[in-house]
Amino acid sequence: MSKPSDTPETSEKQFEDVEFGEDLPEVDVDVSLDTVKVFAKASMMLADRFTDHEAAKKAGLPGAIVPGIMSQGILVAAIHAWAPNAKVLNVDTIFRAPLLVDSKPVASGVVTDIDDDTKVIEVDLTLRNEKGETPVVGTAKVTL
Amino acid sequence: MTAAELLAEYGDHVFDEIDLEIEADSLVGFATACGETHPRFVDPSHADFQGVPNYLTRIHGTRSLPEGFPVEMHRCFDAGKSIQVHQPVRQGDRVTGRSEIHDIYEKSGRTGTMLFIVHRMNFYNQGGDPLATVDWRLVQREFD
């Protein structure tokens, strides 16, 4: 439901192809109300702060918010948009601020470590909103 | 109580256990809403069909904290989640999740002290094989 901003790698990526400091293709993320409702149903996260702007405002939020684990999944998907064959070993995500439903965030990442012995690649991940803020950041370790 | 005292009293034991069967619709909905497009995540007929790496973060136990744990949930927020993937979760798996308090610690700054509670869930499949370890960082503000 999200679309890479740049032409994605569609073929499998090899460990030898990855460079330290390499940017992952930015992904325009779909956090529309309809898509968040799909996620909420699939994950049984049925609280209306995720799926109803008015209910979220009554709860003191600026609007409906994207579930944190959906943001995490979006960052994982950004890894797969870069390297479809990537095997994610772990991902750690920090929720700094709410990400609003119907906003237009962009997912990005950069390769921050490459271990030639273990073949593990570390990637820093970011979800950026229209204001340039980064409400969700994370790191992941992957192999190819 | 201090963080160390809380950890001594409530840490290091399983306080909740749940199990549930993994359904294809849930795996596909979670993946597509996050923007995954690879058939191994979105096509149940694919030979390697599996959940996305952070799929199990959606599963919560019957309670967030041990009975009697002295925290005020209305003063808490979700600071982040990490997942260590041991092996993919698949359609039809009967998953067991066991909850424990993994760590409790304090951080102090200009605005006061915050209490960090690391809620850990270990997930296993029907064969007892470990699937994932999920850590949820819950933070209480103005801890004193």
What is the least distance, in Å, from the CA of A127 to any CA of chain B? 13
Cβ count within 10 A of residue A20: 11
**SS3 readout for B3-48:** HHHHHHHHECCEEEEEEEECCHHHHHHHHHHHCCCCHHHHCCCCCC
Subunit contact A95:B28, Cβ cutoff 8 A: no
Residue A76 per-residue DSSP state:
H
Residue B6 has pLDDT above 80, yes or no: yes
For the packed helices A68-82 and A33-43, what is the interaxial angle rounded to 10 degrees? 100
- Confidence band of A11 (pLDDT split at 50, 70, 90): confident
Residues of A within 8 A of B35 (CB-CB) are 1-2, 27, 29-30, 73-74, 77-78, 81
Backbone angles phi, psi at B110, to 5 degrees: -60, -30
The pLDDT tens digits for B82-128 are 999 999 999 999 999 999 999 999 988 887 888 999 999 999 999 99
Residues of B within 8 A of A94 (CB-CB) are 79-80
Subunit contact B85:A36, Cβ cutoff 8 A: no
pLDDT for residue A36: 97
